[in-house]
Chains A and B, each alone.
Chain A
Amino acid sequence: MSKNVQDHKGRPVVAVTGIGIVTSLGIGKEDNWKKLTGGVSGIHEITRFPTEGLRTRVAGTIDFIPAEPVCAPALSEEFALLAAEEAIAESGVGSKGDFPGPLFVAVPPVEVEWPQRIELASASNAETIGYDDLIRMAETERFAPYYERFLYRGTTERLADKLGTRGSPIALSTACASGASAIQLGVEAIQRGETDVALSIGTDGSVNTEALIRFALLSALSTQNDPPSAASKPFSKNRDGFVMAEGAATLVLENLDHARARGAKILGVIAGCGEMADSFHRTRSSPDGKPIIGCIRNALADAGITPEDVDYINAHGTGTPENDKMEAKGVTTVLGERATRVPISSNKSMIGHTLSAAGAIEAAFSLLTIQHQRIPPTINYQVPDPEIPLDVVPNTARDAKVRYAISNSFGFGGQNVCLVLSGEPH
């Protein structure tokens, strides 16, 4: 057994040996990292569907990867596949179509979408459309492919088929923390000794008419459309909501001892995971910040480190007035007087809020931050918010010594997950 392959609790250390990233900035981790540290925005005018009459007209859609039919499950599947293929190839684990471990996938909610409803309605001759008409048409052979496509588990099962993972694949849905939950489940499986490798994916291709309108009805979205690249303004005083976006990231997780034994390149480790659910409200954080604080503290304790060890925070940083205020409060409480000196930046300022994928994408970027010892900026930071006196790495990337990074993910429904990332232990 090589050195430091068990953590402070005697559990196997979980390394990352493959990373794949797809965002509105592009395909592949190199291209993404270059643009992210270059302060490039992937946010643009929406062309996938008409935005006439909508107050929000921008998003970080991925329009350069085809999917058929255009719907959240199909897009999410394509993004996930690209990210998974990149990560698996880098790791050298298994081979194409044969990954010798379990699959955990964070996926967006699934339902039949408007184009399909309209298709069913058009196929029916009824003048007044009801669900009985839609169902009558749905039972015809022509629409049979929609059965598997719109099963809640469909995307995850197809990914398992194509990637050749082992066992029953799990589809995670913990709202905007889903990507982090997928990583956490993989880490736990390796810690239990059930497997030496696991594949954790976060993916989201759900920017469509109704999803956008639903978030708009919750007053969650930025309406500052001009220019699109300036819409996402985490931690700024003039922030006015998040920007919906798409993407995927995949991590190949591996028992460190196993990875070293086969001579794999260690890209980093998942040093700790913390959770705490919030029982205050369906969309708002508890005003006392306790769940966020507790979640971060649980993650630090799981990693066996103290707040003094945290060198960088990859923020959830959505750019909603509420999230950023509560996140700043939580971070400030945990870090104490160090809070103003520890850099915290939001990838979402450039790639938008990738929802179910965000936790995975931002964990991947956090690992790259450690690997390159360079912190991506929070762009669009022109008007500081005096209530958030933190070092948000404004507008320009920065070289820094980062040994431990934490990545926060908070979601509707009281979901809070915090991951602690670090480099290879020596």
Chain B
Amino acid sequence: MPGDARDVLITGIGLVSCLGEGLDAHWNGLSAAKPIVDETSFAPYVVHPIAPINFDLQIPKKGDQRQMEPWQRIGCYAAGLALDDAGIKGNNEILSRVDMLVAAGGGERDTAVDGKILTDLRTAENPKRLLNERLLSDLRPTLSLAQLANLLAGNISIVFNVIGSSRTFMGEELAGVDALRIAARRIAAGQSEIGFVGGAYNGQRWDILLQLAFGREALKAPYQPVWARGAGHAGIAAGSLGAFLVIESRAHAEARGARVYAKLTHIDAARCRRDVDSLEAAISRMLGDVKPRLASGELAVLSSASGAAHATQAERTALGSLEGIPVRATGSVLGHGVEAQFPLNVGLAALAISRGGLWPALDPTGFELPWSGTLKQALVTGIGVWRGEGLALVEPA
């Protein structure tokens, strides 16, 4: 293989979502261009439910599964798929050197317990005392652990013995961008040889919908593809999904004879104050930095657009400068998985590069152009619902 020893290669991809698990399920699901949505379980909100998963296949100990809430099980499962895919699961020599970087939000609550306590507090003579008593009796210790953002990483260490290092970046889309950015820079600079990056999101949670509701960012039925969500009917359709990537230096990948999907040739993260700055200009600046390297006719954009009104519209306008380039928003098909969305789309970009193709458009507005050809560049956007802008370029290794 030609190239630099410090190139950052993608050598393992683990994906799980409403489309199922693994690369073929995602390729086929995206190719079918048929979103899988649930408009009733969390009515009036739209969610993309996780496909049925036999968690035993990646998390064999029931005891481990019981110690996790759904977002952690989803993440752990995706992590296992990625380690399998990279051929390093069980290879303790390599796993002891793997630098793990997880993007996470926070733990899940027992919403039934919260509801009961809040109901009883309404009529309590001494509400403060009652709150103490009820929390002491009703909270499960395991939930306390599920609450910690770093316990997805902690569970991955336990289940798969990934122990080189473990870092968790907290918070929304840019946590996913920054996790990959820092892991890639460490590899490029020789601070790390092999990284393990990803995240998970459980959209089927009332407590997550509560968080989105404060910002009025949760999409209400009926479902629409992201570019079709307009004024008065915008928002995020939360997706339950997990995505992990194994990335390594070319030197390390070659030495162990790894199968390589693609090369991560550019990754950037930025932020602007959207109350005072133009988001569209910020996205355009990021695109401008990478534009000289882009080749029309071989390029596609995999967008992490969420459907949130301001961010989605600004991204659409900024991407308009890449005339004739096909755009695909995966959120239309499998929902928005916040921290996990960017790693997921970088994984799909690597897959698309390795297969040299692209799935069809899913967009009644016509912004997503039909395309056929041999894909050689995939630009991945990660524009946060509230803050933060990320961009990556994935190319053949």
Contact = CB atoms under 8 A, between A and B. Distances in A.
Nearest to A52: B129
A210 B215 contact: no
A268 B374 CA distance: 55
Given A131-B115, A277-B165, A413-B154, A167 B129 contact: no
Given A117-B118, A282-B145, A171 B132 contact: no
B170 A213 contact: no
A75 B170 CA distance: 18
B95 to A, nearest CB: 9
Nearest to B384: A153
B171 interface: yes
Given A144-B215, A213-B136, A170 B165 contact: no
Given A147-B215, A213-B135, A110 B161 contact: no
B189 interface: yes
A415 B163 CA distance: 9
Interface in A177-198: 181, 185, 188, 191-194
B121 to A, nearest CB: 6
A167 B270 contact: yes
Nearest to B217: A147
A39 to B, nearest CB: 32
A218 interface: yes
A146 to B, nearest CB: 5
Given A146-B214, A157-B387, A415-B166, A173 B136 contact: no
B122 interface: yes
A152 B386 CA distance: 11
Contacts of A192: 185-186, 189, 191
A161 interface: yes
Given A50-B132, A192-B189, A279-B161, A131 B114 contact: yes
A217 B172 contact: no
Interface stretch (B98-106, B224-232, B311-319): B98-106
Contacts of A129: 115, 118-119, 122
B352 interface: no
A368 B96 CA distance: 34
Given A52-B129, A53-B132, A213-B139, A150 B214 contact: yes
A181 B170 CA distance: 13
Contacts of A400: none
Nearest to A148: B386
B149 interface: yes
Interface string B108-145: 01010011001101100011110111011001110011
B162 A188 contact: no
B273 interface: yes
Given A54-B132, A150-B211, A412-B145, A194 B185 contact: yes
Q: How large is the interface on A (under 10, 10 to 19, 20 to 34, 35 or more residues)?
A: 35 or more
B248 to A, nearest CB: 18
Interface stretch (A132-140, A230-238, A242-250, A329-337): A132-140
Contacts of B154: 175, 282, 412-415
Given A121-B121, A283-B145, A168 B211 contact: no
Interface of A: 49-54, 107, 109-112, 114, 117-118, 121, 127-132, 134-135, 138-139, 143-144, 146-148, 150-154, 156-157, 160-161, 167-175, 181, 185, 188, 191-194, 209-210, 213-218, 275-283, 291, 411-415
Interface of B: 67, 100, 104-107, 109, 111, 114-115, 118-119, 121-122, 126-129, 131-133, 135-136, 139-141, 144-145, 147-151, 153-155, 157-158, 161-172, 174-175, 177-178, 181-182, 185-186, 189, 191, 206-207, 209-211, 213-217, 269-271, 273, 386-388, 390
Given A174-B166, A217-B139, 20 more contacts: A110-B170, A111-B107, A131-B111, A143-B214, A147-B217, A151-B211, A151-B386, A152-B106, A152-B175, A168-B270, A173-B150, A174-B168, A188-B191, A191-B189, A192-B186, A209-B131, A217-B140, A276-B165, A411-B150, A412-B148
